[in-house]
Amino acid sequence: MILTNTITAPGEEPATCACGAALAEGQKLCRKCAARERWAKRQAARLRLKRRRNLSRRPPRDPHRTPIVGATS
């Protein structure tokens, strides 16, 4: 039997995060899980932006190393 100094009504359990951390009143995620969620959103945005940037990438207009058409060496 575990003795604690907190009193809870029957059926009323303290809020916990998915990782098991205790949450304060009104919190949905603990600090660690909230940081992980923010990182995942930023990472998804970065990948989406990078993919979009690669799709619309065009070659340069006048690259310096292209051979001149019709010139022979």
21 in any annotated domain: no
Chain segment 8-63, per-residue pLDDT in tens: 666 667 788 989 999 988 889 999 999 999 999 999 999 888 877 666 666 667 66
Integer Cα distance of 19 and 8 in angstroms? 21
Indicate the pTM of the whole model: 0.52
One-letter amino acid at 3 equals L
Integer Cα distance of 63 and 56 in angstroms? 18
Asked whether 30 and 23 are in contact (CB, 8 A), the reply is: yes
3 in any annotated domain: no
23 in any annotated domain: no
Q: Quick one: DSSP state of residue 22?
A: B
51 in any annotated domain: yes
32 in any annotated domain: yes
Asked whether 14 and 8 are in contact (CB, 8 A), the reply is: yes
Could you tell me where the DSSP H helices lie in 1-73?
31-55
34 in any annotated domain: yes
Q: Has residue 72 got a pLDDT over 80?
A: no
Domain count, the chain: 1
Give the domain extent around 32: 28-57
45 in any annotated domain: yes
